[in-house]
Homo-oligomer: A and B are copies of this chain.
Amino acid sequence: MTDLSVQIGDLSLRNPILTASGTFGYASEYETMVDFSKIGGVITKGISPEPRLGNPQPRIWETESGLINAIGLDNVGVKDFELSKLDYLREINCAVVVNFFAESTEGYATLAHTLGAMVGVDALEANISCPNVKSGGREFGVDPAAAADVTRASREATNCPLIVKLSPDVSNIGEIASAVADAGADAITVANSIPAMAIDIDSRRPRLSFGRGGLTGPAVRPIVTRLVYESAQATNIPIIASGGASSWRDVVEFMLAGASAVQAGTVNFVNPRASVEMAEGLETYCRQNGINSLEQLVGAVNMP
């Protein structure tokens, strides 16, 4: 059997398929659908220092092959996460990555410290790129110095493997990727949803209560593939692709572009079993093509 395992800092994954933050709840929701032992890991909904209700309706709007969301980081908060969600996550047979965000550099550090110390948390993913909240998030993700600061502060606060999730709407993602790598990130996720907007021409109001939102789904995959490629050219730390992956073919494509792992996000809504199907498809593909180690795939695109 092909070895699909992936090492990201101190985090070991059985295979490179992770479920993306905000698209897989706290895992228990998919218990009847997903055999967790078939995927690499789950990434939780973004956790904040305090619980958040999120934005009012409407929060999602579908566009051509894409989805715009402005959920507003509706989450249970770190306290309730530990009390009511972590027990379940501890028991599932795959890696558990906790996505988190705060409104200040110190906030990130405090939360990284708290979450990183929880038994059952295998890695942290710092969301420095959420387009859907008024403060915190995206402003850290578009400036290399700010991104490095948040990374460094979080890094110093915990020994837990640290993934930093970047913004896609930058002209030079390589610059941010290497700033974050230098500041101590074990890996980067490329990328969060792409800031977007849709307007109801009848009411003349945005389709989402928040105004803007983040675009995800197959529509954005070609853009994210390019961002993954550019990030891989700029840094040596592992890259986790996130944006539009819908099948094992897309997983292979992202890996060829330079990703070591791939997140299944919006596709979970289209097909809740997608993550397992992606992992199984990847395995079959590797077996049929004589690929013994994923290193033979990562970054193996032949550019002209």
Q: A53 within 8 Å of B by Cβ?
A: no
CB of A290 to closest CB in B, whole Å: 14
A68 touches B197 (CB 8 A): no
Q: A220 within 8 Å of B by Cβ?
A: yes
**A169 nearest CB neighbor, chain B only:** B171
Chain B proximity mask over A23-42: 1 for CB below 8 Å, otherwise 0:
00000000000000000000
- The docked-state distance in angstroms from the alpha carbon of A169 to that of B226 is 12
CB of A66 to closest CB in B, whole Å: 6
Q: Contacts A198-B222, A225-B199 given; indicate if A204 touches B302 (C-beta within 8 A).
A: yes
B221 touches A63 (CB 8 A): yes
CB of A246 to closest CB in B, whole Å: 8
B211 touches A196 (CB 8 A): no
Point out the residue from B194, B215, B226 that lies within 8 Å of A195, measured CB to CB: B226
Copies of the protein in its oligomer: 2
B197 touches A171 (CB 8 A): no
Q: Give the interface size class of chain A.
A: 35 or more
B65 touches A197 (CB 8 A): no
B65 touches A64 (CB 8 A): yes
13 A-B contact pairs sorted by A residue (CB < 8 Å): A63-B218, A64-B218, A66-B219, A169-B170, A196-B222, A197-B229, A199-B301, A201-B252, A204-B300, A206-B301, A206-B303, A209-B304, A212-B226
Interface residues of A in 189-241 (CB under 8 A from B): 194-199, 201, 203-206, 209-212, 215, 217-223, 225-226, 229
Q: A278 within 8 Å of B by Cβ?
A: no
- The docked-state distance in angstroms from the alpha carbon of A15 to that of B172 is 37
CB of A7 to closest CB in B, whole Å: 23
CB of A287 to closest CB in B, whole Å: 15
- The docked-state distance in angstroms from the alpha carbon of A256 to that of B203 is 11
Q: A142 within 8 Å of B by Cβ?
A: yes
Q: A253 within 8 Å of B by Cβ?
A: yes
Residues of B contacting A229 with CB < 8 Å? 197
- The docked-state distance in angstroms from the alpha carbon of A209 to that of B300 is 16
Closest 6 CB pairs of A and B: A196-B222, A64-B218, A219-B219, A65-B65, A64-B65, A197-B226
Q: A8 within 8 Å of B by Cβ?
A: no
- The docked-state distance in angstroms from the alpha carbon of A268 to that of B196 is 24
- The docked-state distance in angstroms from the alpha carbon of A195 to that of B229 is 12
B204 touches A301 (CB 8 A): yes
Point out the residue from B195, B206, B211, B222 that lies within 8 Å of A223, measured CB to CB: B195
Q: A148 within 8 Å of B by Cβ?
A: no
- The docked-state distance in angstroms from the alpha carbon of A226 to that of B138 is 15
**A143 nearest CB neighbor, chain B only:** B171
B64 touches A219 (CB 8 A): yes
- The docked-state distance in angstroms from the alpha carbon of A304 to that of B203 is 13
